[in-house]
Structure 1
């Protein structure tokens, strides 16, 4: 009886969670006349209009925005993973005076609302000459994701037996060699899970791109969707189609690497 109730509740919860996505799918293949005239916006379309996707791709210049998003997302994810793995290695295995203080700074930075940092980040990007450029958005993504990544990887590295490092140091291995040849292969599942999360978060980012980018040639896909909004009326069907197109890439990345994601979240949960 408990299992039956659990599956019923879980099914209802999944259906409620998927409802906005399903409604968006329906909206993306409806005509504007059907959207304006119909009151039941949750109903399936009477006539499928797949040309909305072609319109969204052409009118919003999605190809260019997709390339911009890849240029911003991939270096940001790789940079955040590399720097956070170095910081996590130092905080996990080296006992120095300010180690706990530095860890608390990383954790405290995660608790600061991003809205409080909009004006300081905007002024800093202008003063350093990186406003309205790829490098500016990439650097700030790396900086703001560094705290969570370091905290996540540091806790994972703490589960590695210390005898492995002692044996490597007895054999004459240096610190960076231990990091490169021992630590990195052991934390691949955790870094894979973290990389999927970071890729999804940075790909879907709208706030920092809006603050740090002004030129159309640097805008990512999340800002490109704004071009589909008209001055007097918005084609919601075309905008929904553009949103579906933008969501395809992180969805495909998650489906391709979900095995590593689940492995990274569950590794170390069982001893023996």
Structure 2
């Protein structure tokens, strides 16, 4: 872990984090936003060069050059015709990679407790999409999942290529959790978890685990790169512990600094580059 992740002595630092922010705030559930691309398709389609330019790949003029050179396919067929129009349901690929007609956008949310990530609207539960509705007109999707009662960082994007890669990374993604247990964690059990615990779906390795500095022994900091479902909960349950509060404070290179609970922000260009390199 970096120096900012831990206090002296190799222990996780505790305390409150994040201050007031003037970033976009969650509001009441609005009507489902229409993306710029959706609006463009309302007539009789959109020119292929504009479709590619909207995706942020290149300018319209350069798109014409790539189209003429045979770099673009529509529904599996090479299209070289200038002025060719496509619909929202067409499968457009540039150099073999699917093209999103909306410019890629990236946001991170500090998810509150009790908010659903997917589904459960039929139960009257509020979802993260209610919070993110005002972020952009683009159709965003969360990358991965957080349990309803789990708080912390959640990434959103309309970049399907990045979302797919981060959803099942070859080497995992660095994540740091602050864990509050219902009872103190015995040192022997902490050491067992540090060595790696075998669950029903295989061994779970943690990069680090320790008591949070100057806090009760039921407050734990844990770093793992595992993206398995409910892995942190299952890890502690295997040793006889129940989690009272779970907060993901680091995801990849993203942190909760200056991001209050329930707020979101747009990723910087450098953060987008860093996420793409994970």
Same fold judged by TM-score > 0.5? no
TM-score (norm 2): 0.23
Which protein, 1 or 2, shows the higher relative CO under an 8 Å CA cutoff with sep ≥ 6?
1
TM-score (norm 1): 0.24
Structure number, greater radius of gyration? 1
Give the structure with the larger strand fraction.
2
